[in-house]
Amino acid sequence: MTSAVAALIVAAGRGLRAGAGSPKQYRQLGGVPVLCRTLAPFLAESRIGTVLVVTGAGDGERYDDAIGQLPESVRTRLAAPVEGGETRQDSVRAGLEALAAAGFTGSVLVHDAARPFVSPTLIERALAASAEHAAAIPALAVTDTVKRIDTTGQIEETLPREQLVSVQTPQAFAFQPLLAAHRAAYAAAADGFTDDSAIMEWAGHRVATFAGDPMNLKLTYAEDFELTERRFARPLVTRTGTGYDVHAFAEGDHVWLGGIRIPHSRGVTAHSDGDVALHALTDAVLGALADGDIGSHFPPSDPQWRGASSDRFLAFAAERVHQRGGRIDHLDLTIVCEGPKIGPHRDAIRARIAAIAGLRLDQVGTKATTSERLGFTGRGEGLAALATATIRLPEPE
């Protein structure tokens, strides 16, 4: 296993506090299993090479039914699931041991399946933190007053909230130190840890923090499902957006189109990877949302986006739809150029776009044409793309 980053999704819990019924990770939320919503942004992130789910004993059929609702184009990126243990700590260790057995040695993001609103932006922060720290976790400032109570419920003290944070997942770790910490805790019969950063603290490691996301809610109680279902219960209104992008040719030996690297006699002039197809699609989705454009979210003046893979932009836009309780119905793309030839790569482009946006293949249309030797594309000076996105959003209250 050579991928530099793996995502370990912990889905072995029973979710007893969420009330009667199936474990919460397999319950429907807006007509989609919680686990599918959780997996989608990890599967869309190209820098995550391995996505491994740790399941509960006897959950094989539930797991198969749930992931069967994911588009086939992304389902193939999932590693075979691993059975967890009695506690979350046992389950994470089982997942880590499975990765170790496969020869994995990179960084790992550990995420709870019961957090289905994890965003591409938060995953991006976790990835960035994993490149700098052996252990880093998303944290939110505590805004409520926090008090310590005794066994009778009487207040003992008021804690200074300026030094307190609440923590979330995904938590980012260097794989080998986390594996060693889990093994050491198991050997010492040290248990009761509620997250993996606590195990790293116990093992003597420093744990950094990065900005969490207030929308990254954890489904714990039945009331959590009732509250979040309201986001999906309102009638959905169809909205359409369009996008257009163009890049001039420059020195180089390839171009990126629809997330696929295509050999060519020229490259393009661009701040990111110059993928006109994904840029146009991103603007189309953002336009349907009335949520600015690609430049407002990923300004070319910001050096962090220099050379960036454009699949991150489309994944971000798609997640914005999901965060608002909506869904993407269809993406349509037209590429305009004299070269390179698109036909041999059409199916790969279509499949990659579907994977990034978390769609079925039949929800993505891809076409290519020339401009009959007219204009800058006809003169072979560059290439362009036009896109349309059809989405549905909950009707405003």
HEC secondary structure over the chain: CCCCEEEEEEECCCCHHHCCCCCHHHCEECCEEHHHHHHHHHHHCCCCCEEEEEECCCCHHHHHHHHCCCCHHHHCCECCCEECCCCHHHHHHHHHHHHHHCCCCCEEEEEECCCCCCCHHHHHHHHHHHCCCCEEEEEEECCCCEEEECCCCCEEEEECHHHCEEECCCEEEEHHHHHHHHHHHHHCCCCCCCCHHHHHHHCCCCCEEEECCCCCCCCCCHHHHHHHHHHHHCCEEEEEEEEEEEEEEECCCEEEECCEEEECCCEECCCCCCCHHHHHHHHHHHHHHCCCCHHHHCCCCCHHHCCCCCHHHHHHHHHHHHHCCCEEEEEEEEEECCCCCCHHHHHHHHHHHHHHHCCCHHHEEEEEECCCCCHHHHCCCEEEEEEEEEEEEECCC
Is 269 known to sit in a ligand binding site? no
Is 182 known to sit in a ligand binding site? no
Is 369 known to sit in a ligand binding site? yes
Is 372 known to sit in a ligand binding site? yes
Is 245 known to sit in a ligand binding site? yes
Is 311 known to sit in a ligand binding site? no
Is 294 known to sit in a ligand binding site? yes
Is 370 known to sit in a ligand binding site? yes
Beta strands at 82-83 and 5-11: parallel, antiparallel or unpaired: unpaired
Is 330 known to sit in a ligand binding site? no
Is 371 known to sit in a ligand binding site? yes
Is 295 known to sit in a ligand binding site? yes
Annotated binding-site members: 245-247, 271-272, 279, 293-295, 369-372, 376, 379
Q: List binding-site positions for a divalent metal cation.
A: 245, 247, 279
